[in-house]
Amino acid sequence: MTTSSTALITSDLVDLDLPSADRRTAVRALAERLVAAGRVTDLEQFLADIEAREAQMPTGLDGGIGIPHCRSAAVTVPTLGFGRSATGVDFGAEDGPADLVFLIAAPAGGGDDHMTVLAALARRLVRSSFKDTLRSATDAAEAADFIAKEVSA
């Protein structure tokens, strides 16, 4: 869990200029980064699993964040894709579109120790200082380093 290849997030999984036409476009753009990084094996399967979760209840939350997520057989290692949108993407939150999008990918059969990193991430998401830092990040590497440091603390 300490090598860079299994870190929760790396700079190539960050998109600070996220395509924002709609929710599906935004999720697909981030998911393609996960595929390129070898963390998702089957893009369409993964997107279908994300949609299935989204259909249960929209994942948008007050405060401008969207957290599309799922457990999927197409995921090899717990991974976060992070996107920032200038115009916002509608994830069904009551108070409007999300400018911060966290795509959380969990393997279908992940053990407890794999999941703790995602639990740590989820806990950070409700802190406004965490969100503020990501809103002011100037490049992908800075955002990825910050998140990686936060969840390992």
Partner 1 sequence: MKIVAVTACPTGIAHTYMAAEALEVAAEEAGHTITVETQGSAGSTPLTAAQLAEADAAIFAADVEVRDKDRFAHLPLLQVGVKKAISGAPGLITQAEEAAANAPATAPAGTPAAATPAGAKAPAGPGAASRVRAWLMTGVSFVIPFVAAGGLLIALGFALGGYQINLPEDAPLYETILSNGFDVGSITAWGALAFGIGSAAFSFLVPVLSGYIAYAMADRPALVPGFVGGAVAVTTGAGFLGGLVSGFVAGGLVMWIKTWRVPRALAGIMPVVVIPLLSSAVVGLLMYVVVGRPIAAATDGLTSWLNGLSGTNAVLLGLLLGLMMCFDMGGPVNKAAYTFAVAGLTTPSATALTIMAAVMAAGMVPPLAMALATVVRKSLFSEVERENGRAAWLLGASFISEGAIPFAAADPFRVIPSIMAGGAVTGALSMAFGATLRAPHGGVFVVPLMGNPLGFLAAVVAGTLVATTLVVVLKSFAHRRPRATAGPDGAAGTAPVEATPAATVAVTA
- Catalytic residue positions, numbered: 69
The residue range among 8-16, 29-37, 61-69, 145-153 that interacts with partner 1, by the rule CB under 8 A, is 61-69
Contacts of 49 (CB under 8 A, 6+ apart): 70, 71, 72, 74
Measured between alpha carbons, how far is 88 from 64 in angstroms, rounded to an integer? 8
Phi-psi region at 15: left, alpha or beta (left = phi > 0; alpha = psi -120 to 50): beta
Of residues 31, 69, 101, 148, which one binds partner 1 by CB under 8 A?
69
123 forms part of the interface with partner 1 (CB under 8 A): yes
Binding footprint of partner 1 on the chain (CB under 8 A)? 23-24, 44-45, 48-49, 51-53, 55-59, 61-62, 67, 69-73, 90, 92-94, 104, 106, 108, 110, 112, 115-116, 118-120, 122-127
